[in-house]
Amino acid sequence: MTTQDSKLQFDTMDAGDFKDFAKAMTDYIAEYLENIRDRQVVPSVKPGYLRPLLPDQAPEKPEPWTAVMADIERVVMSGVTHWHSPRFHAYFPTANSYPSIVADMLSGAIACIGFTWIASPACTELEVVMLDWLGQMLGLPDEFLARSGGEAGGVIQGTASEATLVALLGAKAQAMQRIKEDHPDWTDSEIVSKLVGYCNKQAHSSVERAGLLGGVKLRLLKPDAKRCLRGDILRTAMEEDISKGLIPFYVVATLGTTSSCTFDDVDEIGDVCQVHNVWLHVDAAYAGSAFICPEFRYLMKGIHKADSFNFNPHKWMLVNFDCSALWLKKPRWIVDAFNVDPLYLKHDQQGSAPDYRHWQIPLGRRFRALKLWFVLRLYGVENLQKHIRKHVALAHLFEKLCISDERFELFEEVTMGLVCFRLKGSNELNEELLRRINGRGKIHLVPSKIDDVYFLRLAICSRFTEESDIHFSWDEVKASAEEVFKSYKE
Ligand code: PLP
């Protein structure tokens, strides 16, 4: 058999077909996104809906791409929750833009695994520069950036949860070395059993999980009345623990908590961390994107006191999942502490550029800097700022509508693109309200509960959202409230 024959045997898609398929898919995607508002935001399928739609086994013979295209609506779209619909208000947003989708195509074509510099120099070097661009856009101090010439710099992680764990492991390595120097007779397990980390009770569950994965204690502290973790709360907790023989080593401050988007006081927390020589990580997963607008930077006051900072451009900055930006002032605590160096991963240029495999948990990594580069160039900072400001303004519009109706109250001050609200009355009343809203099938919201108060969260998620969509969503909320009151009267 010749090489040509064997090629013909399995390579069923040639470049011509690829262009046709990709063109058809591009048309489909544009059509899908531009008309997404017209789709039912959450599908009405039941678990197990999909299996009967597919054959029992993979096809033995190749099918044409047109057959796959023909099945997308029937099999896939019938079970899709449309996160980019202006009717979708659940969770926090996840980003989506045309430049980012196109960048992911190129990343798929290059398909390198950029674990070391030599494994694909552009993959590493574009990431270094993009994280510097992004850091400057947010107003991060130079001490976080690679351009400062020191060891500091940024890296793209998959998610904020990974970033929190990576920072915790760095903090643990740093604390272990320091404590061993002071107490050479203590064993590793003795030291680990004394380590304790801290976060706001309202921090994302991934922080508590990072403690579990890292094998250390993590205390969830009750914040102040504005759900902000303050310096004095942290100081008291640390002093209590120190008096019991424990050793504080890690603090996570949250900027934009998941439930109600409140902000810890990084400035005060940073002071306490400095006194006790504790690593401060800042988790700004959602709200961090807003810091590209100078008017929101007051919320990150004291950021120069942090050791690491993370936010997700894939939430609110038009870069498709996954792209979580993490900056480390001292990456050596991750790079050196978890360095395993098999011969097949060594290369001659080691040390002159980051080998990002040492900055993360997995070995493999995609070329994700491309989508940052495409988005930053094709929008420009000014349009990304407009996007953030528009979402915040739309949240304030919903807030205004809500407070103009005396049956409703806000649960939290609106700072970003999230409105936390409820009907004045019991939790049960509000649970019924949410059931009705989601039951009507026009918009989608999720609830939260803080200190036993149940409330509804309306997040502005889609880049297509306009004022008319907010009025539509408000009308849905009002109509659902009418239904609730009517059912209570019956
Ligand atoms: N931290 C905060 C404050 C969040 O709001 C979220 C998710 O919404 C996360 C962390 C987890 O993000 P990821 O899915 O990127 O791990």
Q: Tell me: the pLDDT tens digits for 204-251?
A: 999 999 999 999 999 999 999 999 999 999 999 999 999 999 999 999
311 alpha carbon – ligand 1 mean position (Å)? 9
Tell me what the mean pLDDT of segment 265-283 comes to: 98
Ligand 1 pocket test, candidate residues 94, 157, 161, most atoms within 8 A of CB: 161
Ligand 1 pocket test, candidate residues 283, 291, 317, 320, most atoms within 8 A of CB: 283
The closest residue, in CA terms, to atom 14 on ligand 1 is: 159
pLDDT of residue 12: 85
Ligand 1 atom at minimal distance to the Cα of residue 161 = 16
The confidence band for 101, taking pLDDT boundaries of 50, 70 and 90, is: very high
- CB distance 271 to 301 below 8 Å: no
Ligand 1 atom at minimal distance to the Cα of residue 254 = 3
94 alpha carbon – ligand 1 mean position (Å)? 11
The confidence band for 114, taking pLDDT boundaries of 50, 70 and 90, is: confident
Tell me what the mean pLDDT of segment 317-344 comes to: 88
Tell me what the mean pLDDT of segment 388-397 comes to: 98
405 alpha carbon – ligand 1 mean position (Å)? 32
pLDDT of residue 30: 98
Q: What are phi and psi of 90, to 5 degrees?
A: -90, 165
pLDDT of residue 187: 95
Instruction: Give the separation between CA 190 and CA 201, rounded to whole angstroms.
Output: 27
Ligand 1 pocket test, candidate residues 83, 199, 204, 254, most atoms within 8 A of CB: 204
pLDDT of residue 449: 97
pLDDT of residue 348: 66
In this predicted structure, the answer to whether residue 7 has a pLDDT above a threshold of 90 is no
Tell me what the mean pLDDT of segment 152-176 comes to: 96
Tell me what the mean pLDDT of segment 360-384 comes to: 96
**In this predicted structure, which of 50-59, 324-333, 335-344, 411-420 has the lowest mean pLDDT?**
335-344
Tell me what the mean pLDDT of segment 425-444 comes to: 96
pLDDT of residue 335: 87
Tell me what the mean pLDDT of segment 407-431 comes to: 97
Cα-based distances in Å from 247 to 175, 185, 198, 330: 9, 16, 11, 21
Tell me what the mean pLDDT of segment 262-280 comes to: 98
Ligand 1 pocket test, candidate residues 164, 258, 321, most atoms within 8 A of CB: 258
The confidence band for 343, taking pLDDT boundaries of 50, 70 and 90, is: low
The rounded Cα 6 to chain-centroid distance in angstroms is 44
Instruction: Give the separation between CA 353 and CA 349, rounded to whole angstroms.
Output: 8
Q: What is the pLDDT of residues 48-78, one digit of tens each?
A: 999 999 999 999 999 999 999 999 999 999 9
> For a pLDDT cut of 90, what percent of the chain falls above it?
89
Mean pLDDT score across all residues of the chain: 94
The confidence band for 337, taking pLDDT boundaries of 50, 70 and 90, is: confident
In this predicted structure, the answer to whether residue 170 has a pLDDT above a threshold of 90 is yes
48 alpha carbon – ligand 1 mean position (Å)? 28
The closest residue, in CA terms, to atom 12 on ligand 1 is: 160
364 alpha carbon – ligand 1 mean position (Å)? 22
- Closest by CA position to 186, among listed 245, 128, 134: 245
245 alpha carbon – ligand 1 mean position (Å)? 32
Cα-based distances in Å from 383 to 13, 48, 104, 290, 294: 39, 42, 21, 12, 14
pLDDT of residue 488: 81
Comparing 136 with 349, which gets the higher pLDDT?
Answer: 136
Other beta carbons within 10 angstroms of residue 396's beta carbon come to 16
**pTM tops 0.85, yes or no:** yes
Residues with CB under 6 A from ligand 1: 92, 159-161, 204, 206, 254, 256-258, 283, 285-286, 312, 324
The closest residue, in CA terms, to atom 5 on ligand 1 is: 258
Instruction: Give the separation between CA 2 and CA 441, rounded to whole angstroms.
Output: 58
Q: What is the pLDDT of residues 120-162, one digit of tens each?
A: 999 999 999 999 999 999 999 999 999 989 899 999 999 999 9
In this predicted structure, the answer to whether residue 1 has a pLDDT above a threshold of 70 is no
What is the torsion angle, in degrees rounded to the nearest 10, for the CA atoms of residue 256, residue 261, residue 266 and residue 267?
130
